[in-house]
Every structure is written in structure tokens, then in C-alpha cells.
A and B are shown apart, each in its own frame.
Chain A
Amino acid sequence: MSLTLEQVQRIAHLARIEISETEARTTQSHLNGIFQLIEQMQAVDTTGVEPMAHAQDLSQRLRDDVVTEEDRRAAYQAVAPETEAGLYLVPKVIE
């Protein structure tokens, strides 16, 4: 398998990472090297093998549906790039 330049650009867009054509070319060669390594997996017949998503086969714990966090909005927003009146500011989304 080998990724085309267009595929690299499409993946970068899906990941929301701006990429120039020069960067895309370097990335393409690096990714293809990595996928050559990854391809070794395809030689293995894994029919009937249960996929292992996690190191411990446990089901997720549930907790009571009660408030456990205190209001720390000011502290959390202090590290935001731009806020106003307790809201996060981003470029206009709806015209």
C-alpha cells in the first residue's frame, strides 16, 4: 500500500492540520515508510481472534448521577486564548 499526495492532503484536512504541498511530500514519504512497517500485520490470519481494545477486560464503572465538580469556570477560562463574559470566543460561525 502506498499513499498518494492527494490522500495525505485529505487526511491532513480530516485532522484539521494545514499542510503545504512541500510538507505533504515529505510527510507522504515518511508515512509510506511507516505503513511499510505496519503492513507486516496483513500477513497474519486473525480470523476468530477477539479484538483487544484494552489491557483489562473490565466494563466501565458507573457512578451516581450527582454533581461532583465545583464551579471553577474562572480558573479554567484564565488559560483560554480569548474569552468574554464567561464564553469562549471564536470566529463567527453563523452569518
Chain B
Amino acid sequence: MIDASLKQLSQALAAKQISSVELTQLFLDRIERLNPTLNAFVTVDPEISLKMARAADARIAAGTAGPLTGIPIAQKDIFCAEGWRTTCGSKMLANFVSPYDATVIRKMEAEAGLVSLGKTNMDEFAMGSSNETSFFGPVRNPWDISRVPGGSSGGSAAAVAARLAPAATGTDTGGSIRQPAALCNLTGLKPTYGVVSRYGMIAFASSLDQGGPMAASAEDCALLLNTMAGFDERDSTSLDRPREDYARDLEKPLAGLKIGLPKEFFGEGCDAAVMAAVRAAIAEYEKLGATTVEVSLPNSHLSVPAYYVIAPAEASSNLSRFDGVRYGFRAEDYGNLDDMYMKSRAQGFGAEVKRRILIGTYVLSHGYYDAYYLQAQRIRRLIANDFVEAFKQCDVIMGPTSPSTAFKLGEKAADPVQMYLSDIYTIAVSLAGLPGMSVPCGFAGGLPVGLQLIGNYFGEAQLLNVAHRYQQATDWHRRRPEGMA
């Protein structure tokens, strides 16, 4: 049961082979046993989870269940969930019990009947690529516990990889779903910006943040996206589009598919063993009937510099709300109001979050706005235009998700710039607002490698189709780490 797909779990629940309470307890037991090693969950509350499971069982008995009713899921601790401690990986929110539900949580729990198993660890305020910036300590990669799981959705990735949960939610601002999915051998999807509501998803960089599923397969991701996506009037940038069934095209043959290979993603800067696995995956696609064409994203090398202006600028504004007044941490001792702000923020935020707030404050300050913020926004346009041109020649774009496999804990923690370069292949996609996926495509030195699939705007169903057909022909996504039985 622990390795079952969501479809199999759904069938088992419908056939009454197992109840949601039993299934939930099975995963809660695994969390209790394995989480002390992995630190994937920061909050588990069996009482709430089992209550949801009982409600799901009642819906199944009454014949009012949806396709995912009763299936347990791990929630990234960036989603506000009523009655749950919601920390965003920060001391600032270490004791914050959310008074309301994020739209994603409401849709998954109240509408779809999924059972939340708990809240997963993450880089503080989603700022990181290794899960080492969490106030609650690093998460360990189930494939090698001396290594990082990636970030910022590292807890969600480790939880699903070690089967502490059948699937999880994640969020992606510059690669935070795709990179941990790659490092932990998962399938993860960052939808087109605006497809999944940001309401109740604690804001990092509002023009980039997007929630999405992390699971064992493209099929699981499609079923989850069906529950997560949809217009939400409470999110001012939510897109009002007709409902889609993201699983509708899963089985479509790939004959005639045109895959664009950006020459910038196949040059220097990527580990040779990672590149070999990616090339082997592309050869497999050719066997499935796809053809490849070289494309160019000539400004992609500017994506990391532009991102580290835009994301911190938005973050410095978003995180100004944490002032020790209405919620969150307040320093013990302080003098006047200004001193209270300064001490609460100095003590409540970790080093990486402070760095980004300072970068953002600087690039938005008088005299520097044009040189940095406006210039970054112009480069963002050039990067987005590169994709528009590339998609004139192909249906999907492929390349590596991450330039390396999972690195050692501590290896890049002291050098912010090295850490930022972990996301060289994912950030351009985020700046353009396009959908992107990571799909398991092999191993290098015993560690998972991810293939990145990039689609055109609203190409989620096609991306899932392209990933699913590959997963029918390969079994990389079914490999499980040893020692996590």
C-alpha cells in the first residue's frame, strides 16, 4: 500500500479494501518511525488527520466521495491551514496557529476530501535550495542522509521519496518544486503562473510564487492538480479560465512531438553524469516517436542575476508585514516602537531571509531603482521573449532540472552565490511564468537525476502527457531509496 499510486489507493478505498483511517494510520506510523531521521515534517497532529480520515470514510460510505477522497497528503508548511501551526520554516511564525485555510488547503480537504498528514519542513520563507535555512533544522535526503533534499520544498520531497506520504504539495518561486523533485527522484509540477491560487500561501515573491503537486508519477500529479487548480476571486492574479481535466491527455501517443533542446542548457556548467542521464532520456523520447530540434534561449544566463533582484525586491515588501504587532514573533525586550520592529525582525528572521530583505530594500531604494529593479524587469521581458521564439519551433523544451545531484549538507551553505546557481535551469521558466516539471530520468553515483520539461503557457496537460508516456516506458520513477522500508 505504501508504494501504491493515487489511482490504486482510490480504487482500494472505493472497494473498501482499506479505510481512510487505516491508510492514514499506516502513514502516520511511518512518519513516527522515520521522521526523526529525515526531519521532513515539522508538525504532525494525528488527532486532526484521523478526524479528516473518518469524515472521508463517511463520504465514501455515503457514495459522495471524489476520486481522491480519503487519500493522505503532506502539506508544505507555507500553506495556512486552520487550526494547524503554520511556520513557513521560520522562528517568526514558530507559534503561529493559522486562523484560516489557504484556498489550496480548502480545495484539497473540504472539496476533494484529501487527508492532511501534517506540515512539511522547508527553507525559511521558501528562500533556499537545500532546506538548510529552516529554523527547524535541515531535512535529510532519503537517498543519502548525509545529503540535502533540495529546496525550498525539501520536506515535501523527502516525505514522498521515503513514502511518509503518498504525495505532497509544494510551491515554486525559482525552482522550489522542480529542484527538490529532481534531487529526491520525484515528479513535480510548477503550473503556469496564476493557475493555482496563492490565497493563504505565505508570500515570498508574489509575481513568481506558484503552488503545485509533488508525487511519484505524472499521473498522480495530474490528479492532484485537478484538485488544486482553479479560479479564486481571493487571489488578484488568479486566472479565470474554464475548468480543465489535467489527466485528459495522459495516454496520447508522442509520435510527432517536437522537443526543443536549448543549446544554453547543454553546454558547460552541468555535471557530466547528470547530462548523460538527460541525453539518455531524450534518446528514449526519440524511440517514443518524438523529434528534437536545437533552440536558443540567449538571455537565460541572465536569469539568476535578474531573479536575485526581482525576488528579493518583492520579498522585502511582502515580509515587511512581520513587525511583531499583529502576529508572529515579538522580541522580549525593546524600547520604543521602532526598536520593537528592529529587534523582532533581527531575532525572528534567519540569515538568508535577512540577506534577501536587504538586497530587496537596496534595489528598491532611491537612486538604485532604475539600475537594478527596472533593468531586471527588462531582462525578464527578454527572457520571456526567448521562450516565445523557441516555442515557435517546438512543443516542449527539455533539459536538466539541476546542474548536479544532491549535494552534501553544509557544502554550499556558507556561499550564497554557489547556492543560488543550483537553480540556473529552473529560474528562467519562473521569470517567464511558464509551466515546468521535473521527471526522474536516471541516477548518477547512486543519486537521482531529474529531467526538466518546460511547456508553453497553460500546457500542463501536455507536459503531464509527455511525462506519463515516458514513465510508461521507463521505471526510474518507481525506484525507492534503501533503508526506508
Contact = CB atoms under 8 A, between A and B. Distances in A.
Real complex partners, A and B? yes
Interface of A: 3, 7-8, 11-19, 27, 30-31, 33-42, 44, 46, 49-56, 58, 60-61, 63, 72, 75-76, 78-82, 88, 90-93
Nearest to A3: B362
Contacts of A19: 346
Contact of B330 (A33, A40, A81): A81
B436 to A, nearest CB: 12
Given A16-B342, A55-B207, A78-B99, A90 B326 contact: no
DSSP majority for the B interface?
helix
Contact of A38 (B207, B358, B372): B372
Nearest to B341: A16
B355 A30 contact: yes
Given A18-B342, A41-B376, A91-B336, A53 B207 contact: yes
A53 B377 contact: yes
A16 B239 CA distance: 35
B326 A15 contact: no
B236 to A, nearest CB: 6
Nearest to B354: A17
A11 B379 CA distance: 25
B309 A41 contact: yes
Contacts of A78: 99
A88 B326 contact: yes
Interface in B208-252: 208, 233, 236-237, 239-240
Nearest to A19: B346
Contacts, number: 166
A40 B382 CA distance: 14
Given A16-B341, A55-B193, A88-B325, A33 B375 contact: no
23 contacts: A7-B362, A11-B362, A15-B345, A15-B357, A31-B359, A37-B305, A37-B420, A39-B305, A40-B302, A40-B305, A42-B371, A50-B378, A51-B377, A52-B378, A52-B381, A54-B237, A55-B208, A56-B237, A56-B239, A58-B237, A79-B327, A81-B325, A92-B336
Contacts of B431: 52, 55
A13 B323 CA distance: 14
Contact of B324 (A40, A52, A55, A81): A81
B242 to A, nearest CB: 16
Contact of A16 (B236, B323, B375, B432): B323
Nearest to A45: B378
Contact of B381 (A15, A51, A72, A93): A51
A15 B316 contact: yes
A12 B378 CA distance: 27
A54 B207 contact: yes
Contact of A51 (B340, B341, B343, B374): B374
B482 to A, nearest CB: 38
A47 B233 CA distance: 37
A37 B308 contact: yes
A90 B323 CA distance: 11
B378 A17 contact: no
Contacts of B372: 38, 41
B261 to A, nearest CB: 24
Contacts of A60: 236
Contacts of B377: 51-53
B327 A80 contact: yes
Nearest to A41: B305
Given A17-B342, A55-B207, A63-B233, A79 B381 contact: no
A57 to B, nearest CB: 10
Contacts of B346: 17-19
Given A50-B381, A54-B237, A75-B99, A33 B416 contact: yes
Contacts of B236: 60-61
Given A14-B361, A37-B420, A46 B97 contact: no
Contacts of A54: 207, 237, 433
A61 B231 CA distance: 12
A43 B316 CA distance: 26
B334 A37 contact: no
